[in-house]
Amino acid sequence: MLSRVAASLYWLGRYMERAEFTARLVEATVRLDHMSARPAGTGAWGSALAVVMGDARFAETGQPITQKTVSQFLTLDPTNPGSIRSCIDAARDNGRAVRTALTREGWETVNSSWLSLQKRSKTWSLESTLALAESVTAQARGFEGALHRMLRSEAYWFIRLGMAVERGDNSARLVDVKYHLLLPEGEPVGGVIDRDQWTTILHTVSAVTAFRWLYKGGLTPSAVADLLILRAEMPRSLIASAEEVERYLTALGRLTGLQGEADRIARRRHIDLGRYDISQIIINGLHEFLTGYIANNAQLDRAIAKQFRFP
């Protein structure tokens, strides 16, 4: 496989995963702002920007942080490279470049996601924002379903690798921002707002039911962090993403004969995560742990590009 084809497949996976995560984040933030015991307001929308590293770019627009301005920025703003529209545009561009490496169902899912966004009205409303988020989430699930029916070739593994790398990064940023930015000043830890926000985090990663199955002691920050970092049963946890990355790199190594620093980083990270417990992580500094993971993920991304000679 040509290196440019491999790179396009990898980034197709990353952009589709990023679009789905952003859609889930917007939907969950709307839920927090409108359906919790008390509206979360500016703090919740500011934190949504921080999760996707869009706060600095949003500040450049000069707009106030409101539900309307931030949700528009995160969904349909073509000037925001992290918006859902921009991610789907980039995913389609990468998919079109490697059209022959995809199944018909895989390509049609990406293309239909793009087409549906072109038809979206620019007139903002809460209902249209929620409809868009639900549509993108459903289309992302359709894309993943199409992947399951693909031949287990290099194309399949590169897409899955990109998705797993992106998923771990998103989960780490989500937990980190919650711990440091989300709780409004003066609100008690463990209070109504705090519980609503942690529930919103679980909604973002579709883990409300999973949490109730696995934890009988009620909703606590340490339990949510444990679920999203160290529980391998949880597909969006850091350790589950790390295990997937290691497995996909191994599969690609067998097919391409290319192994190297990316494999070593992935293997070491998976082993290290398996040695932790959540109390140890919190005592040593959750923020430091998560920023370390994010930095390691960026190092892994660079190693993958070098190992497979991405242009």
The predicted pLDDT at position 195 comes to 67
The predicted pLDDT at position 179 comes to 67
C-alpha 143: how far from chain center: 15
**Token reading at 268:** 């070491």
Inter-axis angle of helices 154-177 and 126-148, nearest 10? 140
The predicted pLDDT at position 241 comes to 97
Cα separation, 89 vs 73, whole angstroms: 15
Cα separation, 80 vs 289, whole angstroms: 28
Instruction: Give the three-class secondary structure for 195.
Output: helix
What's the burial of 310, exposed, middle or buried (CB within 10 Å: 0-12/13-18/19+)? middle
Cα separation, 244 vs 98, whole angstroms: 23
**Which amino acid makes up residue 108?**
E
Which DSSP symbol is given to 188?
P
CA torsion angle 193 52 143 198 (round to 10): -20
The predicted pLDDT at position 182 comes to 47
C-alpha 156: how far from chain center: 19
Which DSSP symbol is given to 58?
H
The predicted pLDDT at position 184 comes to 45
Domain residue spans of the chain: 3-307
Closest by alpha carbon to 192, among 32, 47, 37?
Answer: 37
Closest by alpha carbon to 244, among 19, 3, 13, 60?
Answer: 13
**Which amino acid makes up residue 303?**
A
- The per-residue pLDDT string of the chain (311 residues; one tens digit each, 9 = 90 and over) reads 789 999 999 999 999 999 999 999 999 888 777 755 455 567 778 889 999 999 999 999 999 999 999 999 999 999 999 999 999 999 999 999 999 999 999 999 999 999 999 888 778 888 899 999 999 999 999 999 999 989 999 999 999 999 999 999 999 999 888 765 444 444 444 444 556 677 878 888 989 999 999 998 878 888 999 999 999 999 999 999 999 999 999 999 999 999 999 999 999 999 999 999 999 998 888 889 999 999 999 999 999 999 999 99
Element of type H or E holding 18? helix 3-35
The predicted pLDDT at position 40 comes to 54
The predicted pLDDT at position 183 comes to 44
Name every residue whose Cβ is closer than 8 Å to that of residue 22 and which is 6 or more positions away in sequence: 52, 74, 75, 82, 83, 84, 87
